[in-house]
């Protein structure tokens, strides 16, 4: 709790003490940390923020970080948007007319009505970034999109965070442990994950608990000695893009040394299911007359017969001994068909000589002995956990890397228990509760579409037929809670925006994206509105309170959507007859969602309430501990929505679909990271990594003067050897360039980065660069056809690959 | 008594800077001011690099340099150990900024803020809390602590890396954590910069992560590029660090200085111990006794004279001890010291000799020179009654039990008339006190006169004075009072063997010198003076008769006093420079040297000289903020300069230091300057009376010592002048010696009292200005990137310590980086 009574040394001028209120609330930026705060408010001004530290589970106290605490400087910052703005002049010219709300909303509604009339509602896309950060306000926007039949651009895939390797293997785009679970680990591999910067409130579970109590062996795999590597026992500077190779080599070590957990493979994976040699498809029960085509068979070595796997549980009868190795011939439709268990196929791949540690050493630059050591440590020094960072996933072939890592974890059976998991904390894409009753009125859903296709401007040839690309293309974009013009692909997004008739941005401060909009609507920060918040990191449901009224003329997103709807179709207003708390009640009174059973708004107003989940909740714990079939449910989709791409209901290390067979990706394999790029692109000598910065949440706080006081300039980290070869000295202005573009910033010479790698932290607004557009250097956008085999919004969808970029750097004279 | 402390666990710290921001928010600090900050340290070369994060905040030192360096006493240490800068009292001098070896004090001439002018958040709630141009630092959130809360950085730390509490309380969180971690992880707390001697309250536990690194030695795989050799390294000079030579040089210099100091100290020690040749048992009796209070620890003399028993019998000694001598030496009863002890001491001193005066002489070498013993053997017996009367009388206390002389001269009444003798006895002469008839009856006195009419019962007869009239003239003159009856000196110097010319002698008699009063011709005609001169200039001095006091006095010649002061100045300068080097080390001069070189040494010297003149001599910071205080301070500082100038002036126009008129230039200047210092001092004393910071928690004793010494010096200086003018010569020597002693003490203790602010404050301010200039000039990328400009070099020093502890193989390959 804050006390503001005195100044250092002596009392100088006592701060006024009238009208002091202390409010418990939660913030919800896109770090998705959902930390509880106590705000001290004097005369409707937030003067102090301190961690609330009121979670029942004491280990979670306190939660918070520098960005949360510096939030006052954004709430009262100079870039706050004070009134609605309507563009005068060309896009990006930054000439504005300060408009009244009526003017601005009329303008938007008129434009929307015209587009709906001429091109259909799906020509207008709503993009409100990662939706899990705010169930009520973002939900109101989605509810409007659903009612009008608009398109809804999913962000998780656009951000590249969707882990398709996870979806392909486990049936859900990623799975995370509650971070308290890390505390149990004795081995923790941080695979390009920088939790000391990106998960600040949770880092203590590694340092204070895992390290101090268990003397956990922490291994950081990263081309850059990051802030997190500081807390690691081993820093493994890996060559960028070779993580999948390392994972497969570790798998080979595990197989070689007989460290396989057969019990785990038996119950929880498809390793024993049989694959037909003739068409590469899995052998169905229907093929051999034992059941349906959604049932799969294994060879029961105990009884020397085929055994049909149960579909309602993962538990096999004790007397069944599925065979993992061997080859059998079965009769399918009268023909003899050779079948092999998946394990045989996986083993064939993994045991290839190119995955031997000695061969892998040459490519990854990790000594063979080290590869063996970390594999053995991971397999034997248990519990062991892997935290995957997006450096390995933000690549075209990132899915294969994740599949290889999951293979490694499955071979040793490290899942579903405290301190045992493969976690990916990339965005709050997962809903902890079922938001459908609020988001999808009467079951109506908007036309969800990956933003990829928006920025490409047209569908790909291999687009999944379930994806409805607007017949006339996109004509309008309502962008909220987002700053898409400050990303690695800003160039392409901008090209797409240029074709629009309407570009509305809703934000609380004037971002580069706002500057390029037609209409800018001032929104409140999350300290000025009511919201329901949860996160993958901890199991508490919390309410965000309106600590101070919306500043200036800003209005909540829920109010805005109501007003837009009123102007387009007043009959739809009946779906908006409640306030924020009414919306929360809709989601809480949901018998279909066991996690919120018995939780009420009134309880939440008193403080955080624990969801009805395991303690600690581990990824896949229901599957591993209760033998519940895979995959876990992906809210807000109904149970079974993922069944089509995880037919065996087990962790799948064999993908049978024709496109996988065609691409040679049926089992986890390695494809060099840059091999899909043109010769010209590949010739640029540097790989560039773009980690999150501790000074920002993506691009939020970029203009926070307090944080900029600590981190004044964008720099590129470069090794002195590379710098010397280019005559670059510490502090020089340098230009990063490739054949797509360039930008200028300052050089930071450091020994903490692998030679041949550059590092620029992500999220800088262009105005802070020495010159140019942030991340105008990129690769062309490609979609991997296997990612279009199925479609479930933000679960099975194509993702971005920011890190597949090659550049060069030169000194600016 | 509680002692608040903070322990930072480097294993837990993830370098997130939540503390940095929490502190900013709690304390409303302006831009570039970070009471809590985190050092981002990297060491070694790829791939063997290590990264460490080290949170830094005010250490609230037990021996806080900032507090000691503050010329305004604006920094206080609370009972619980929190060190605070009083924002009202601080004058923005800037000495503390440099004095803090950790770089944790912030002083901005002009504050920069973060938000628009009209935002109430900053305008109404942040800005009013701190004033610009005032030194500021972490307070351990004293306002929160007073309400029973933890500091903001502790509360906000998401990894519980900061443990705060009372280190004196074994049940406190911090005490328990220290014990627990020592048991569980074997880590013991350490301090930053232990060599700075600050005794910080901030403690650290080291990192547990091994931070090994593994690489196959290839360059990052970039398809198409060839792997480069693992051993390909940077040019040698880049790795070497260019400051190595400079450091070695500085080290050598410091070593020389240390050796010099040690030799000096050794010499002083030898000098002191050389005098102690007594047996340990006797020495113990002596040191336990009250005698040592005045005569020094080894009888070498201190307040009282050196103990010299070579001319004393055991009985004489006993008598002096029991009855006392003169006004100063008190009687000592048998209860205080047994006879046996007194005898033991007598024997001991007989054996030890008087090394103070004649270090080469030992009693055994010159046994024949012991008048008392020889008197016992050779003296013709006195008339028993008269002898009895004499021995009983107080006379024997000084003149020896055989009248052969002791502390006083030998008794020789042969040249005195009876009446003259009686006059001397009854009225006293020089040091000799009057003796009333109840102490010594006229009868006894006359008997004594008779007894000694044939001269003293001594072997070494003084050479006869001729002509007798001259002797009478001398004996009857006031000169004997000081110069002794035999002219071998009493309280004044011996006249025998006088080296002056006749004219000089005459003029000295007429105008006096030093404590000697002028004697007009009406009292002592020129003829007589000349007679006296003739007699004594031809005569040889009898060293044995020269009183100890004069032997000391003779030592106090102008030249010797000059030499003594030179010696004292050298000793004080050694300590003073050592002291100054301590502060310059604290200010990070060593770490700053490479930047000074880049900045330009001449340019740097200019900055320093300017600062010394403007901020040191001019006391500009005080002038800016409080003109009255500046004027009062001016009385002292410029008074001191006046005194020094007067002395130098005197040295030039009157090197012999003979008496000058009060209206002569140097005298006048000295008096005016002295009055100025006196007035300034009175103001200090007046202020002290009502100053709530009289005890700032650390420097009370030192301040007290300084002020008192200064007070005594000034008062005794004025008294010396006044006594000289009034002619109360009995006191002159004492007061003058007291004055000299006070000055000596003042100078000798200067490096250890508040006197040191005379050079510490200006030098620290000069360092602060220099760092400001270097920072502003942008000579180094570190300074340019630093969020809190001006402490990069100190951060480097801390980083070097951390790296030497946890990555010793990295040697001096240490980098403090600021972002990202």
A810 band by pLDDT with thresholds 50, 70 and 90: very high
Q: How crowded is residue A472: how many other Cβ atoms within 10 Å of its Cβ?
A: 12
DSSP code per residue over A48-62: EEEE----SSGGG-S
Task: Find the residue in B nearest to A241 (Cα).
Answer: B221
What are φ and ψ of residue B544, in 5° steps? -65, -25
SS3 (DSSP) at B456: coil
B444 Cβ contact partners less than 8 Å away, ≥ 6 residues apart: B386, B389, B390, B392, B393
Nearest C-alpha of chain B: how many angstroms from A757?
Answer: 7
pLDDT over threshold 90, residue B503: no
A239 to B784: CB separation less than 8 angstroms, yes or no: no
CB contacts, 8 Å: B115 with chain A:
73, 76-78, 705
Distances, alpha carbon A547 to alpha carbons A138, A600, A720, B122, in Å: 19, 20, 49, 18
B369 band by pLDDT with thresholds 50, 70 and 90: very low
Q: What percent of chain B has pLDDT over 90?
A: 40
Interface test with A, best of B7, B14, B32, B696 (most A CBs within 10 A): B14
Q: What local confidence, expressed as pLDDT, does residue A9 receive?
A: 43
Please give the Cα distance from A776 to A797 (Å, whole number).
Answer: 25
Least confident of A59-68, A279-288, B333-342: B333-342
What does the H/E/C string look like for A254-305?
A: HHHCCCCCHHHHHHHECCCEEEECCCCCECECCCCCCCCCCCEEEEECCCCE
Q: What local confidence, expressed as pLDDT, does residue B238 receive?
A: 39
Please give the Cα distance from B99 to B480 (Å, whole number).
Answer: 60
Q: What local confidence, expressed as pLDDT, does residue B466 receive?
A: 42
Q: What percent of chain A has pLDDT over 70?
A: 97
B255 band by pLDDT with thresholds 50, 70 and 90: low
Considering only the beta carbons, identify the residue of B14, B152, B219 that sits closest to A207. B14
CB contacts, 8 Å: B225 with chain A:
685, 756
Nearest C-alpha of chain A: how many angstroms from B29?
Answer: 10
Greatest alpha-carbon span in chain B:
128
Task: Find the residue in B nearest to A704 (Cα).
Answer: B114
pLDDT digit string, tens, across residues A327-346: 999 999 889 999 999 999 99
Question: Residues A228-252, buried b or exposed e (16+ Cβ, 10 A)?
Answer: bbbbbbbbbbbbbbbbbbbbbbbbb
The CA-CA-CA angle for residues B372, B373, B379, to 5°, reads 80
The CA-CA-CA angle for residues A148, A150, A155, to 5°, reads 135
Query: In angstroms, what is the C-alpha Rg of chain A?
Result: 27
Q: What local confidence, expressed as pLDDT, does residue B294 receive?
A: 63
B481 band by pLDDT with thresholds 50, 70 and 90: low
B64 Cβ contact partners less than 8 Å away, ≥ 6 residues apart: B75, B77, B83, B198, B698
Task: Find the residue in B nearest to A758 (Cα).
Answer: B220
Considering only the beta carbons, identify the residue of A46, A62, A694 that sits closest to B16. A694
Q: To the nearest whole number, what is the mean pLDDT of chain A?
A: 93
Quote the ipTM score.
0.94
Least confident of A759-763, B194-198, B424-428, B619-623: B424-428
What would the two tokens of residue A664 be? 């040679």
Q: What local confidence, expressed as pLDDT, does residue B431 receive?
A: 63
Please give the Cα distance from A546 to A46 (Å, whole number).
Answer: 11
Q: Outline where DSSP puts E strands in A612-673.
A: none
pLDDT over threshold 60, residue B731: yes
Minimal CA–CA distance to B97: which of B83, B81, B108? B108
Considering only the beta carbons, identify the residue of A197, A234, A719 that sits closest to B212. A234
Q: What local confidence, expressed as pLDDT, does residue B311 receive?
A: 66
Q: What local confidence, expressed as pLDDT, does residue B727 receive?
A: 65
Please give the Cα distance from A512 to A308 (Å, whole number).
Answer: 58
pLDDT over threshold 50, residue A2: no
Higher pLDDT, A195 or A780: A195
Check residue A190 and report its DSSP letter: E
B346 band by pLDDT with thresholds 50, 70 and 90: confident
pLDDT over threshold 90, residue B100: yes
Higher pLDDT, A439 or B494: A439
Q: Outline where DSSP puts E strands in A444-539.
A: 447-450, 476-480, 502-507, 519-522, 531-533
SS3 (DSSP) at A739: coil
pLDDT over threshold 80, residue A654: yes
pLDDT over threshold 90, residue B251: no
Least confident of A668-672, B63-67, B86-90: B86-90
Considering only the beta carbons, identify the residue of B25, B42, B158 that sits closest to A751. B42
pLDDT over threshold 70, residue B86: yes
Higher pLDDT, B239 or B625: B625
pLDDT digit string, tens, across residues A403-459: 999 999 999 999 999 999 999 988 767 789 999 999 999 999 999 999 989 988 999
CB contacts, 8 Å: A42 with chain B:
125
CB B278 within 8 A of CB B352: yes
Q: What local confidence, expressed as pLDDT, does residue A431 receive?
A: 87
Interface test with A, best of B7, B10, B13, B18 (most A CBs within 10 A): B18
Please give the Cα distance from A691 to B445 (Å, whole number).
Answer: 110
B274 band by pLDDT with thresholds 50, 70 and 90: very low
pLDDT digit string, tens, across residues B434-475: 777 777 778 778 877 777 776 655 444 444 444 445 556 777
Average pLDDT over residues B714-721: 89
CB A361 within 8 A of CB A246: no
Q: To the nearest whole number, what is the mean pLDDT of chain B?
A: 80
Long-range contacts of B721-729 (CB under 8 A, 24+ apart): B721/B662, B721/B671, B724/B515, B724/B659, B725/B662, B727/B517, B729/B515, B729/B516, B729/B517
Average pLDDT over residues B549-568: 76
pLDDT digit string, tens, across residues A147-188: 999 999 999 988 888 999 999 999 999 888 999 999 999 999
A242 to B221: CB separation less than 8 angstroms, yes or no: yes
Q: What local confidence, expressed as pLDDT, does residue A4 receive?
A: 35
Q: What local confidence, expressed as pLDDT, does residue B487 receive?
A: 77
Average pLDDT over residues A771-798: 87
Higher pLDDT, B492 or A425: A425
SS3 (DSSP) at B160: coil
What strand order describes the sheet that includes B48-56? B48-56, B37-45, B814-817
pLDDT digit string, tens, across residues A228-238: 999 999 999 99
A275 band by pLDDT with thresholds 50, 70 and 90: very high
A486 band by pLDDT with thresholds 50, 70 and 90: confident
pLDDT over threshold 70, residue B367: no
CB contacts, 8 Å: B789 with chain A:
none
Q: What local confidence, expressed as pLDDT, does residue B303 receive?
A: 59
CB contacts, 8 Å: A179 with chain B:
none
């Amino acid at each position: 709790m804050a006390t503001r009574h005195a100044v250092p040394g002596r009392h100088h001028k006592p701060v006024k003490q009238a009208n002091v209120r202390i409010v418990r609330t939660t913030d919800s930026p896109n770090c998705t940390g959902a930390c509880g705060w106590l705000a001290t408010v004097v005369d409707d001004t937030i003067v102090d923020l301190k961690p609330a530290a009121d979670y029942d589970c004491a280990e979670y106290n306190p939660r918070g970080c520098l960005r949360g605490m510096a939030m006052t400087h954004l709430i009262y910052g100079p870039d706050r948007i004070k009134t609605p703005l309507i563009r005068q002049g060309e896009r990006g010219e930054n000439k504005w007319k300060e408009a009244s709300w009526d003017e601005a909303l009329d303008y938007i509604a008129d434009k929307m009505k015209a587009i709906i009339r001429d091109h259909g509602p799906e020509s207008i896309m709503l993009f409100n970034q990662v939706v899990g950060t705010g169930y009520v306000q973002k939900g109101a926007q989605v509810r409007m999109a659903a009612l009008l039949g608009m398109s809804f651009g999913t962000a998780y895939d656009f951000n590249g965070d969707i882990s398709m390797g996870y979806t392909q293997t486990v049936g859900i785009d990623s799975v995370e442990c509650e971070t308290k679970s890390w505390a149990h680990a004795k081995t923790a591999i941080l695979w390009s994950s920088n939790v000391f910067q990106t998960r600040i409130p949770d880092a203590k579970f590694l340092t204070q608990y895992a390290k101090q109590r268990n003397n956990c062996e922490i291994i950081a795999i990263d081309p850059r000695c990051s802030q997190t590597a500081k807390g690691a026992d081993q820093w493994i500077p890996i060559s960028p893009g070779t993580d999948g190779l390392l994972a497969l080599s570790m798998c080979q070590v595990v197989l070689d040394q007989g460290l396989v957990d057969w019990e785990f493979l038996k119950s929880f994976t498809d390793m024993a299911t049989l694959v037909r040699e003739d068409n590469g498809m899995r052998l169905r029960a229907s093929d051999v007359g034992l059941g349906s085509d959604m049932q799969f068979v294994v060879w029961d070595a105990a009884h020397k017969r085929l055994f049909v796997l149960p579909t309602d549980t993962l538990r096999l009868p004790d007397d069944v001994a599925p065979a993992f190795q061997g080859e059998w011939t079965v009769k399918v439709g009268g023909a003899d068909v050779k079948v092999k268990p998946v394990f045989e196929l996986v083993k064939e791949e993994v045991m290839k000589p190119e995955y031997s540690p000695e061969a892998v050493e040459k490519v990854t630059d990790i000594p063979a002995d080290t590869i063996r050591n970390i594999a053995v440590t991971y397999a034997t020094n248990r519990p062991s956990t892997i935290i995957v960072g997006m450096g390995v996933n933000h690549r075209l072939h990132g899915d294969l890397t994740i599949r290889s890592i999951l293979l490694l974890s499955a071979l040793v059976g490290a899942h579903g228990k405290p301190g045992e998991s493969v976690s990916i904390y990339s965005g709050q894409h997962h809903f902890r509760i079922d938001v459908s009753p609020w988001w999808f009125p009467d079951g109506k859903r908007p036309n969800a579409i990956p933003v990829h296709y928006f920025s490409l401007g047209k569908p790909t040839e291999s687009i999944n037929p379930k994806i409805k690309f607007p017949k006339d293309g996109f004509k309008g974009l309502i962008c909220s809670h987002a700053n898409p013009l400050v990303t690695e692909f800003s160039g392409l997004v901008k090209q797409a925006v240029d074709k629009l008739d309407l570009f509305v941005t809703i934000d609380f401060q004037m971002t580069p994206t706002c500057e390029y909009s037609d209409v800018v609507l001032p929104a409140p920060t999350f300290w000025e509105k009511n919201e329901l918040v949860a996160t993958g990191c901890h199991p508490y449901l919390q309410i965000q309170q309106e600590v101070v009224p919306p500043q200036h003329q800003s209005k909540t997103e829920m109010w805005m959507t109501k007003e837009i709807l009123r102007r387009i179709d007043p009959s739809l207003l009946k779906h908006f007859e409640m306030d924020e708390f009414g919306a929360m009640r809709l989601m809480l009174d949901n018998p279909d969602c066991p996690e919120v059973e018995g939780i009420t708004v009134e309880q939440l107003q008193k403080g955080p309430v624990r969801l009805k989940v395991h303690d600690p909740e581990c990824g896949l714990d229901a599957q591993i501990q209760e033998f519940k079939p895979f995959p876990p449910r992906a809210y807000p989709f109904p149970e079974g929505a993922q069944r089509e791409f995880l037919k065996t209901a087990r962790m799948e290390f064999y993908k049978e679909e024709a496109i996988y067979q065609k691409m040679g990706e049926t089992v986890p394999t390695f494809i060099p990271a840059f091999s899909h790029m043109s010769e010209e692109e590949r010739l640029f000598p540097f790989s560039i990594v773009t980690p999150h910065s501790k000074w920002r949440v993506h691009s939020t706080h970029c203009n926070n003067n307090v944080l900029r006081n600590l981190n004044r300039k964008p720099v590129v980290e470069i090794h002195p050897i590379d710098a010397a070869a280019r005559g670059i000295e510490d502090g020089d202005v340098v230009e990063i360039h490739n054949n797509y573009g360039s930008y200028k910033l300052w050089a930071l010479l450091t020994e903490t980065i692998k030679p041949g790698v550059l590092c620029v932290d992500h999220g800088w607004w262009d105005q802070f660069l020495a010159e140019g557009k942030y991340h105008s250097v990129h690769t062309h956008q490609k979609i991997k056809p296997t990612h279009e085999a199925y479609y479930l919004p933000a679960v099975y969808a194509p993702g971005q690959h920011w890190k597949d970029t090659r550049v060069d750097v030169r000194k600016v004279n | 008594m509680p002692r608040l402390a903070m322990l930072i666990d480097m294993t837990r710290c993830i370098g997130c800077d939540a503390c940095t921001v929490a502190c900013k928010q709690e304390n409303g600090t302006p831009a570039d001011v970070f009471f809590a900050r985190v050092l981002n340290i990297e060491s070694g070369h790829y791939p063997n690099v290590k990264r460490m994060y080290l949170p830094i905040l005010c250490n609230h030192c037990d021996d806080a340099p900032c507090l000691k360096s503050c010329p305004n006493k604006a920094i206080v240490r609370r009972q619980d150990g929190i060190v605070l800068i009083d924002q009202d009292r601080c004058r923005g001098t800037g000495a503390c900024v440099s004095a803090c070896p950790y770089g944790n004090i912030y002083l901005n001439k002009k504050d920069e803020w973060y938000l628009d002018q009209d935002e109430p958040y900053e305008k109404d709630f942040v800005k009013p809390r701190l004033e610009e141009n005032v030194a500021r630092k972490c307070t351990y959130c004293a306002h929160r602590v007073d309400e029973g809360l933890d500091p903001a950085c502790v509360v906000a730390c998401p990894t519980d890396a900061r443990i705060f509490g009372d280190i004196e309380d074994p049940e406190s969180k911090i005490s328990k954590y220290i014990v627990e971690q020592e048991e569980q992880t074997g880590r013991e707390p350490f301090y930053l910069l232990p060599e700075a001697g600050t005794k910080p309250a901030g403690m650290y536990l080291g990192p547990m992560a091994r931070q090994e690194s593994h690489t196959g030695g290839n360059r990052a795989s970039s398809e198409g590029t060839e792997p480069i050799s693992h051993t390909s390294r940077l040019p040698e000079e880049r790795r070497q660090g260019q400051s190595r030579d400079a450091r070695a040089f500085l080290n050598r210099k410091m070593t020389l200085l240390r050796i010099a100091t040690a030799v000096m100290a050794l010499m002083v020690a030898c000098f002191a111990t050389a005098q102690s040749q007594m047996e340990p048992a006797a020495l113990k009796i002596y040191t336990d006794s009250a005698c040592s209070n005045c005569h020094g620890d080894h009888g070498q003399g201190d307040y009282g004279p050196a103990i010299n028993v070579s001319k004393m019998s055991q009985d004489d000694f006993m008598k002096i001890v029991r009855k006392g001598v003169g006004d100063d030496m008190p009687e000592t009863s048998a209860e205080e010291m047994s006879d046996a002890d007194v005898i033991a001491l007598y024997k001991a001193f007989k054996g030890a000799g008087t090394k103070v005066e004649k270090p080469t002489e030992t009693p055994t070498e010159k046994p024949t020179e012991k008048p008392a013993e020889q008197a016992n053997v050779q003296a013709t017996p006195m008339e028993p009654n008269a002898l009895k009367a004499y021995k009983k009388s107080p006379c024997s206390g000084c003149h020896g039990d055989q009248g052969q002389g002791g502390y006083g001269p030998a008794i020789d009444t042969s040249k005195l008339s009876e009446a003259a003798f009686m006059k001397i006895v009854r009225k006293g002469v020089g040091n000799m006190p009057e003796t009333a008839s109840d102490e010594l009856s006229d009868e006894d006195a006359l008997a004594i006169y008779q007894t000694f009419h044939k001269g003293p019962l001594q072997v070494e007869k003084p050479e006869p004075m001729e002509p007798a009239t001259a002797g009478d003239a001398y004996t009857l003159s006031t000169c004997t009072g000081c110069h002794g009856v035999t002219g071998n000196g009493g309280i004044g110097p011996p006249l025998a063997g006088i080296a002056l010319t006749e004219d000089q002698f005459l003029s000295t008699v007429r105008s006096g010198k030093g404590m000697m009063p002028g004697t007009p011709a009406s009292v002592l005609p020129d003829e007589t003076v000349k007679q006296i001169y003739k007699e004594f200039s031809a005569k040889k001095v009898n060293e044995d008769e020269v009183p100890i006091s004069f032997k000391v006095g003779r030592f106090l010649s102008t030249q010797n006093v000059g030499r003594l002061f030179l010696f004292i100045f050298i000793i004080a300068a050694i300590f003073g420079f050592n002291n100054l080097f301590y502060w310059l080390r604290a200010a990070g001069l060593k770490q700053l040297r490479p930047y000074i070189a880049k900045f330009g040494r001449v340019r740097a010297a200019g900055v320093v000289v300017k600062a010394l003149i403007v901020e040191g001599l001019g006391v500009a910071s005080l002038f800016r903020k409080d003109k009255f205080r500046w004027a009062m301070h001016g009385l002292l500082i410029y008074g001191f300069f006046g005194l020094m100038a007067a002395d130098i002036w005197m040295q030039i126009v009157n090197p012999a230091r003979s008496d000058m008129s009060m209206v002569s230039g140097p005298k006048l200047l000295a008096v005016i300057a002295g009055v100025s210092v006196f007035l300034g001092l009175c103001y200090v004393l007046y202020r002290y009376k009502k100053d709530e910071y009289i005890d700032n928690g650390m420097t009370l004793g030192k301040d007290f010592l300084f002020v008192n010494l200064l007070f005594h010096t000034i008062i005794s200086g004025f008294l010396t002048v006044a006594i000289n003018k009034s002619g109360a010569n009995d006191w002159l020597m004492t007061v003058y010696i007291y004055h000299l002693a006070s000055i000596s003490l003042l100078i000798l203790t200067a490096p250890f009292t508040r006197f040191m602010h005379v050079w510490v404050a200006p030098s620290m301010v000069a360092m602060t200005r220099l760092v400001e200039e270097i920072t502003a000039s942008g000579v180094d990328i570190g300074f340019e990137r630093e969020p809190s400009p001006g402490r990069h070099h100190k951060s480097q020093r801390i980083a070097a310590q951390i790296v030497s502890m946890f990555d010793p193989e990295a040697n001096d390959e240490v980098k403090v980086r600021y972002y990202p």
